[in-house]
Amino acid sequence: MSEEIIISFEKVNKWYGQFHVLRDIDLSVRKGERIVICGPSGSGKSTMIRCINRLEEHQEGVLKVDGVELSDDVKAIEAIRKNVGMVFQQFNLFPHLTVLENLTLAPMWVGKIPKKEAEERAMAQLNRVRIAEQAMKYPLQLSGGQQQRVAIARALCLTPKIMLFDEPTSALDPEMIKEVLDVMIELANLGITMLCVTHEMGFAKSVADRVIFMDQGQIIEQNTPHEFFNNPKSDRTRDFLSKILNH
Amino acid sequence: MGAAQTFTPIASRPAPEKLTGTLAWLRRNLFADWTSSIATLAIVGLFAWVLPGIVEWGLVHAVFRPDNEACREVAGTGACWGVIAEKYRLIIFGRYPFEQQWRPLIATLLMVTLLVASCTRPLWSKWLIVAWVVVLVVFFVLMRGGLFGLTPVETSRWGGLPLTMMLSTLGIACAFPLAILVALGRRSHLPAIRSLCIVYVELIRGVPLISVLFMASFMFPLFMPQGTQIDVLLRVFVGITLFAAAYLAEVVRGGLQAIPKGQVEAAASLGLSYWQTQRKIVLPQALRLVVPSIMNSFISTFKDTSLVTIVSLYDLTGSLALALGGDANWRQFYLEGYFFIAAIYWVGCFAMSRYSQWIERQLNVSNTR
């Protein structure tokens, strides 16, 4: 992990109407860092990472991604999105396209890469997530775990510098969670910057460089996994951990 | 526990007689219980009561020769199909000069051929667009004349099937893209575009087509500066297109609303621009959801073109009135004439309806597990 800062939040605030969803977020992410974000629902975790590729707009503060400040500049946003891959809770694969077409779409239309090369790249990513034999199927013909692995491969096809995961295993059957986590652990070893909203504490312990705990739109606590789980500083964190770890 | 059991398969045997065969089918489907038996008998009774009359009028006592005397004799008891044999050229080509009618014939055949070709998937390519441009140019040169030694024919004399075909084909072809833009505009984040689209749809949908046509043909020229002349056919065509597009836009919008937000977010997260997202992700999914409603609108537009009669353009229905109304001998056989027109419309609409079903099956491939 280098010392170079790739994402920085400075006093970022956001409101949904009158609801103050992000409050004075300060966060610096180093290149290659792997961060797990946890917290109760409605705490603003998803909103925060969705600000990074501007699926959500922040209203106050400065948010810089890969050296570019996020503003209303559409071209800048599109450039950032090329470098930021995202994996969603509901997979969000394009159901009218085959698995292969799902993967080649952005490289061909955004990356302007010839079809043949885009397909080679796509097959390489499908091999990585061990699903190459399903390339010609449509997403709805696959299981949830398979769909999520395709979604990860799709995000990787633009060779992003940053990967955002928004509760990638929350919509999956328990049996399928492992196959997705295994793929994510492999990615973590590649040195790509990862921000992952998840409740999979085992994943956090084994992979994360830093765990962030959020509640009511604020970052309450951030620390190494070891410190975070064994020695939480805030009583709110302790309360949360006791609820999710002891059942 | 205990000794392992041996698996002995049960030998296959034919289904019992009472489950197969015509009688069993009849019993199961038509006479399952007393309510369905009554329904079956009632429907058969209705047919037995109505059909003989129709067959007698339409076939047994009908006159097929263009023989006015014979027709008058059977009037009331038999159909006079002779009226069609006598008047078909006037009905199909309207007031187009009689000796020049080979021109609209060729023009219409070309257009129908290309329509069929456009509906055939293996032929979908860039050449189809080229073919359309060529055919449209040829269509108008043939119809209008004035080039290559063809006698000029004013648009006011165009009529019948070529006019109906032209207005509905071009009307639909222009209304569809316009409708997509308006539907997208109604969901735009830009207030000016959104309001413009809402005003357009609500204004046009709020008035009958007849009033749009009246405005296009009688009111519009009053607002034009002196000396500016826009062909009435063009004005009526624009009116039909705008009218059809307003309805289609709402159909398309219905499809757009059914697309989950996650699809747009996924496209955005991959760096696709607004137009790329609409073209590659949203519209392909939205349009296939509303294929039946789109075809509904197309069929309405096809039939709505018959309203141009009221602004003195003689489409199929108009030219029928023209063909029979001006001839005292044949005037009374308008019913048979309308049957003929209805048959033409029905063939067109039925073809469109079947095609839409085929398209739906083609597009549903990705949704079948």
- The alpha carbon of residue A86 is apart from the nearest alpha carbon of chain B, in Å, by 6
pLDDT above 90 (res B159): no
Which residues of chain A neighbour B265 with C-beta distances below 8 Å? Answer: 55, 88, 92
Say if residue B359 is in the same domain as residue B215: yes
Say if residue B144 is in the same domain as residue B163: no
pTM for the whole structure: 0.82
Which residues of chain B neighbour A138 with C-beta distances below 8 Å? Answer: 365-367
The DSSP call for residue B150 is: P
The sign of the torsion formed by the CA atoms of A77, A81, A82, A83 equals positive
Question: Is A105 in contact with B280 (Cβ distance < 8 A)?
Answer: yes
Question: Are the C-beta atoms of residues B178 and B245 closer than 8 Å to each other?
Answer: yes
Of A88, A91, A69, A87, which is closest to residue A79 (Cα–Cα)?
Answer: A69
The answer to whether A95 contacts chain B (CB < 8 Å) is yes
Say if residue B136 is in the same domain as residue B274: no
Question: Are the C-beta atoms of residues B80 and B74 closer than 8 Å to each other?
Answer: yes
Residue B64 lies in a domain: no
The answer to whether A163 contacts chain B (CB < 8 Å) is no
pLDDT above 60 (res B160): yes
- The alpha carbon of residue B103 is apart from the nearest alpha carbon of chain A, in Å, by 44
Question: Are the C-beta atoms of residues B305 and A140 closer than 8 Å to each other?
Answer: no
Residue B74 lies in a domain: no
Stretch A58-80: mean pLDDT: 89
Interface of A with B in 47-66 (CB under 8 A): 53, 55
Residue B259, pLDDT score = 92
Residue A247, pLDDT score = 57
Mutate to test the interface with A, among B264, B265, B269, B362 (most CBs of A within 10 A): B269
Residue B15 lies in a domain: no
- The alpha carbon of residue B3 is apart from the nearest alpha carbon of chain A, in Å, by 36
Question: Are the C-beta atoms of residues A196 and A184 closer than 8 Å to each other?
Answer: yes
Stretch B123-135: mean pLDDT: 84
Locate the chain B residue with the closest alpha carbon to A101. B280
Mutate to test the interface with B, among A50, A78, A104, A165 (most CBs of B within 10 A): A78
Query: What ranges in B258-331 are assigned the alpha helix state H?
Result: 261-269, 274-277, 283-289, 291-304, 316-325
Query: Cα separation of A151 and B266, whole Å?
Result: 9
Say if residue B206 is in the same domain as residue B274: yes
How is A70-83 classified by DSSP, letter by letter? -SS-HHHHHHHHHH
Residue B318, pLDDT score = 81
Say if residue B142 is in the same domain as residue B260: no
Of B348, B361, B337, which is closest to residue B71 (Cα–Cα)?
Answer: B337
Q: Which residues constitute the domain of residue B271? A: 159-221+233-317+327-367
Tokens at A54, concatenated: 């501007």
Q: In 3-state terms, chain B is what percent helix, strand and coil (to 5)?
A: 75, 0, 25
Locate the chain A residue with the closest alpha carbon to B287. A96
Say if residue B169 is in the same domain as residue B122: no
Phi, psi for A14 (deg, rounded to 5): -145, 145
Rg of chain A over all Cα atoms, to the nearest angstrom: 18
Contacts of B122 (CB under 8 A, 6+ apart): none
Say if residue B146 is in the same domain as residue B166: no
- pLDDT confidence of A246, banded at 50, 70, 90? low
Say if residue B146 is in the same domain as residue B175: no
- pLDDT confidence of A52, banded at 50, 70, 90? very high
- pLDDT confidence of B7, banded at 50, 70, 90? confident
Residue B78 lies in a domain: no
Locate the chain B residue with the closest alpha carbon to A156. B270
The domain boundary, picked from B152, B171, B193, lies at B152
pLDDT above 90 (res B199): yes
Q: Looking at the 3D structure of chain B, how many domains does it have?
A: 2
Rg of chain B over all Cα atoms, to the nearest angstrom: 28
pLDDT tens digit sequence for A133-142: 999 999 999 9
pLDDT above 80 (res B123): no
The domain boundary, picked from B152, B169, B186, lies at B152
Locate the chain B residue with the closest alpha carbon to A138. B366
Query: Cα separation of A55 and B264, whole Å?
Result: 10
Say if residue B251 is in the same domain as residue B164: yes
Q: Which secondary structure element, helix H or strand E, spans residue B109, and what is its range?
A: helix B102-118
Question: A64 versus B316: which is more confidently predicted?
Answer: A64
Locate the chain A residue with the closest alpha carbon to B286. A96
pLDDT tens digit sequence for B76-121: 787 788 777 777 888 888 878 877 788 888 888 888 888 888 888 7
Say if residue B211 is in the same domain as residue B127: no
Locate the chain B residue with the closest alpha carbon to A139. B366
pLDDT tens digit sequence for B308-341: 887 777 888 888 887 777 777 777 778 888 888 8
Residue A28, pLDDT score = 93
Tokens 């165009």 sit on residue = B158
Of residues B271, B285, B366, nearest to A82 (C-beta):
B271
Question: B316 versus A11: which is more confidently predicted?
Answer: A11
Contacts of B271 (CB under 8 A, 6+ apart): A78, A79, A81, A82, A106, A110, A158
Of residues B260, B270, B285, nearest to A96 (C-beta):
B285
The domain boundary, picked from B118, B137, B152, lies at B152
Question: Is A55 in contact with B269 (Cβ distance < 8 A)?
Answer: yes
Question: Are the C-beta atoms of residues A87 and A164 closer than 8 Å to each other?
Answer: yes
Residue B143 lies in a domain: yes
- pLDDT confidence of A160, banded at 50, 70, 90? very high
Residue B58 lies in a domain: no
Residue B367, pLDDT score = 59
Question: B329 versus A16: which is more confidently predicted?
Answer: A16
B282: left (phi over 0), alpha (psi -120 to 50) or beta: alpha
Of residues A97, A106, A138, nearest to B270 (C-beta):
A106
The answer to whether A162 contacts chain B (CB < 8 Å) is no
- pLDDT confidence of B280, banded at 50, 70, 90? very high
Residue B50 lies in a domain: no
- pLDDT confidence of A245, banded at 50, 70, 90? confident
**Which ipTM score applies to this complex?**
0.91
Question: Are the C-beta atoms of residues B66 and B91 closer than 8 Å to each other?
Answer: no
Say if residue B192 is in the same domain as residue B213: yes
> Picking from A128-132, B5-9, B14-18, which range would have the lowest pLDDT averaged per residue?
B14-18
Residue B151, pLDDT score = 79
pLDDT tens digit sequence for B15-24: 776 666 777 8
- pLDDT confidence of A63, banded at 50, 70, 90? very high
pLDDT above 80 (res B243): yes
- pLDDT confidence of B1, banded at 50, 70, 90? low
Residue B366, pLDDT score = 58
CA B318 to chain centre: 18
Say if residue B181 is in the same domain as residue B123: no
Stretch A238-243: mean pLDDT: 88
Strand A193-197 relative to strand A162-166, pairing? parallel
Query: Any idea what the CATH number is for the domain that residue B279 is in?
Result: 1.10.3720.10
Residue B182 lies in a domain: yes
CA dihedral A71, A74, A79, A85 (to 10 degrees): 80
